[in-house]
Each structure stands twice: as structure tokens, then as C-alpha cells.
Amino acid sequence: MSKKIKIVADSTCDISPELIEKYDIEIHPFIVSLGEKSYRDGVDITTDDILKYYRETGNVSKTAAAPPGEYEELFRKWPAEEYDVLFFTISSDFSSAYANASIATESFDNIYVVESANLSTGILLVVLAAADMIESGMSAKEIADRLKDIVPKVRTSFVIDTLEFLWKGGRCSGVAALGANLLRLKPCIEVIDGKMSVGKKYRGNIDKVIPQYIKDRLDSTPNVVRRRVFITHTCEDRAMVEAALKQTRDSGMFDEVLETRAGCTVYSHCGPNTLGILYIEA
């Protein structure tokens, strides 16, 4: 009898409750700290809590992966005689999650740790590709090997309203943040080879910038995997999000256009009014 395959991912994949239920995916939370207090991403803290803390203190939240021992405890939930486990992590350039989970696997022979070289729903695109492969009858090892070809083809980017959170989190210089604010620049942040880099810089209000950003991204990648695309965001303006979803659907490039809100870990670094379009290049 073949073993069942369980998909587990860290909370930075920004999965929606609907997709968790649909694909029976287990989520392991990152740690989010507000000052001296620590919480579990998506369990006992929300993005509203982070924004409230920032407005009250001027400080941003901090994030961290679990230590190896916690991953060991997590992996024990699935006995090797019954399950193989595919565990997906954020890029090793952003966090110690991959390293810590890999250390934990030394006690197991049924765990396959997949380093997404990505963040947010860039991870989730790889997770759902694995879910599709499970349905096709592939083994966990076959899937882990096949994903090595998919990971480099994921196209992740976000346009950011303010660099304040990236600056205070140590991911950009104060000079860059000040300059962007003075010039009303909205930078496109791209994930390339597991690292963040600054792409095109837009100027103006974020609601006017987003349509041009989406057009630029889709025009730059005419050959895409049609299966699905994500619009992932931290926006409160519903009309702005609906316009982005409609524009993406109207492109006719994707069979399924999915929306998710960024979770606490990603929000801690990008702040409010961030929106991204994420897909896989063919």
C-alpha cells in the first residue's frame, strides 16, 4: 500500500482558509514579535494588530522562524510508515526556516523539505503545483525532484506604497526610503534567485500605479502557465483590489485568478497598500 502524502508549509505562503480546506494543507506559523511579546502568525495575531502597534509606537514588528526542535515536533505528527511529508519554506535568503527544518529532518526519513526560493504566494504557487502532482499519482520524491524545475520559473513581485516598513526592518536604507517618499515613488519589489531586488519605480498614487504595474508585468511575461495566478495584497481599498482582479481576468492569460491577503510575516516587511501579481512562467 502506497503512503499518503501530506503537504505542510510555513505561514509565509499567505494561503487562504479556502485553499487550506480544499487541499488539506497544514500551516506552521512563523513567530511575530511586537516589542517583547511574541505571537504565532495567523493564530493569535493579525495584520491589524501590526498596523496598530506601528501607529502607536512608530516601530515595526519582527519575525522569526521556529527553532529545529519545533520542526522535529511538527514532523512527528506523520509516522513514516503511513506518510511522506512535503514541507515548504520561505527562501533561505529571507529566513532560517529552511536551515532549521533541514536540521530537523535528520531524525526522519519521510520528510522532504522544499526551499521555495520565494515568499508569499510565490511559495504557494509551488505548494499548489505539488498538490496537482499528488492528484496525478506521483510519489513525494518524484514531486520534490520535479519542483526543482518549477521553483526558478515562479514570478513574484509587489508594488509598495511606502518603504517605511522595509527601512525600519533593515531591508533598505533610510536614504532610499526618504528619497522614495519625497519623489512619491512606488517601487516594484521583485524576487529573483531567492533574493529581493528593486525593479521599475512608479510615481503617483498607489491606485493609479497598480494598473500600470500589472500591465507591465503581464506584458513582460507573455508565456505563462495558465493554471492559476495570485493577486496578493495588504490593501483596505476594496475597489482597488477588485480593479486589479478584473484587469488580470480580462487579460485572458489565466484559467483561475485567486486573491489572498498577505499574512503577518509578509505584512511586517511590506506594510499597508502593497499589491502583487504572482504566477509561473511557462
pTM here is 0.93
Boundary residue ending a domain (150, 174, 191): 150
User: What is the reported pLDDT for 180?
Assistant: 44
User: What is the reported pLDDT for 167?
Assistant: 64
pLDDT for 181-195, tens place per residue?
Answer: 434 678 898 999 998
Domain that residue 245 falls in: 153-280
Give the total number of structural domains in the chain. Answer: 2
Residue 7: strand, helix, or coil: strand
Indicate whether 33 and 163 sit together in one domain.
no
How much of the chain, in percent, has pLDDT values that exceed 90? 79
pLDDT for 3-31, tens place per residue?
Answer: 899 999 999 999 999 999 999 999 999 99
Determine the average pLDDT of the residues in 263-275. 91
Q: How far apart are CA 159 and CA 189, in angstroms?
A: 6
The grid coordinates listed for 91 are 527562501
How much of the chain, in percent, has pLDDT values that exceed 70? 93
pLDDT for 150-173, tens place per residue?
Answer: 999 999 999 998 877 776 655 543
Q: How far apart are CA 212 and CA 206, in angstroms?
A: 10
Boundary residue ending a domain (131, 150, 169): 150
Answer whether residue 176 shows pLDDT above 50. no
Indicate whether 79 and 215 sit together in one domain.
no
Question: CA neighbours within 13 Å on the CB side: how many for 128?
Answer: 25
User: What is the reported pLDDT for 174?
Assistant: 38
pLDDT for 87-141, tens place per residue?
Answer: 999 999 999 999 999 999 998 999 999 999 999 999 999 999 999 999 999 999 9
Instruction: Give the containing element (helix H, strand E) for 212.
Output: helix 206-220
| Angstrom distances, CA of residue 228 to CA of 148, 201, 247, 249 | 19, 26, 15, 11
User: What is the reported pLDDT for 165?
Assistant: 74
Indicate whether 157 and 77 sit together in one domain.
no
